[in-house]
Amino acid sequence: MRKHTVLMALVLAFSVIVGIQLVTSDIRANDIKAKVNITPETLLWKAEGYGKYMTVSIKLLSEEYNVHNINISSIVITIDLQEVPFVRSDIEEDTLVLKIERELVLNIFELTVLHMSPHVKQEVKVEVTGKLPHDNAFHGSDTFEVFITQPIQP
């Protein structure tokens, strides 16, 4: 009897997890896909001379919408599960270009980096979401690497 109860609990837990994934996937499936590109592709830890900003470029992959339709105030940039504000936005042809502060991005990894060895790269995912007219949404993602070139002093 006890095995049956444990088995039923596992099946129920698995069903809930799968259900949540399906609901989330369905919402994302209706979103308009965007091509996101973040530069630089490698962020050297505390290196000098690499500029103050990182650039996030967004192109909508829909013939129905273009970047001029994006509600700029609705854009959310998430790096390593943390929201990062952008400080400037421009439109260049069919691309929305956002600037985020490099130092702010580096601060996200302050604790993680203390446990990393020199010459190790960590791949980081960047996700961008936002709103378009008529309650439509867009989303896209890219990755970059954080690279530690020397031992970190706590």
What pLDDT score does 22 carry?
Answer: 43
Residues 63 and 73 reside in one and the same domain: yes
Residue 97: phi, psi to the nearest 5? -115, 120
What pLDDT score does 114 carry?
Answer: 59
For residue 121, the cross-strand partners are 147
10: Cα separation from own chain's centroid? 32
Residues 4 and 79 reside in one and the same domain: no
Number of domains in the chain: 2
Q: What is the pLDDT of residues 8-46, one digit of tens each?
A: 555 454 554 544 444 443 445 478 999 999 999 988 776
Residue 60: phi, psi to the nearest 5? -80, 135
Q: Residue 25, SS3?
A: helix
- b/e map of 75-101 (b: 16 or more CB within 10 Å)? bebebeeeebebeebeeeeeebbbbbe
Residues 69 and 144 reside in one and the same domain: yes
What pLDDT score does 142 carry?
Answer: 97
Mean pLDDT across the chain:
79
Q: What is the pLDDT of residues 39-95, one digit of tens each?
A: 999 887 766 667 899 999 999 998 889 999 999 999 999 998 899 999 999 999 999
